[in-house]
Homo-oligomer: A and B are copies of this chain.
Amino acid sequence: MKLEQAIQSTKFKSEVQKAVLNTLYTAWWLKTVMSKELKEFGLTHEQYNVLRILKGKYPEQMCVRDVACRMIEKSSNVPRIIDRLELKKLVKRATSQIDKRETVITLTQSGIAILEASTRILDKSMDDNRFMMNCEDAEKLNSLLEKLRKTEE
């Protein structure tokens, strides 16, 4: 669906302003598509993101801060997301012995299993074939998004 239909608006202040709205709308659309797949695993988009980040270092542990700085949405409240994952026994919390301020997080076997299963489904649904976009298009899109974030300051 075109942006104009999606938000029922045809007049934009400029093409750049339209690109801003388009980016916001596309991100919402992407999150919705992904969340639908994750739902059958009882995972939210953000919980899945944390599990993925932990997997990246596995079998090493990670502290909360290291997880947080890898999150896509930086102001996510990681301790609270971990609360939910711990409740479902997908991760374990322990106090670091080296630095007792740190909480180190470990994926459980159950966490690995659910991550692998959900990643399989998500990859099937979100693989490159889903998108009518080739590698060249994606490269161009990536460079334009970087450009949008590059401000004068």
Contact = CB atoms under 8 A, between A and B. Distances in A.
Interface of A: 1-3, 7-9, 13-32, 56, 69-75, 123, 126, 128-133, 135, 137-142, 144-152
Contact of A22 (B8, B24, B129, B142): B142
Nearest to A123: B13
A18 B138 CA distance: 8
Contacts of A139: 15
Q: Is the interface of A mostly helix, strand, loop or mixed?
A: helix
A130 B152 contact: yes
Q: How many copies does the complex hold?
A: 2
Given A130-B152, A144-B141, A23 B23 contact: yes
Given A25-B72, A26-B23, A147 B129 contact: no
Given A23-B30, A56-B9, A74-B28, A15 B142 contact: yes
30 contacts: A2-B146, A3-B145, A3-B146, A13-B123, A14-B128, A15-B139, A15-B142, A16-B128, A16-B131, A16-B138, A19-B141, A19-B142, A22-B142, A22-B145, A22-B146, A23-B145, A24-B27, A24-B31, A25-B72, A26-B148, A26-B149, A28-B73, A28-B74, A30-B148, A32-B75, A130-B151, A130-B152, A131-B151, A133-B144, A141-B144
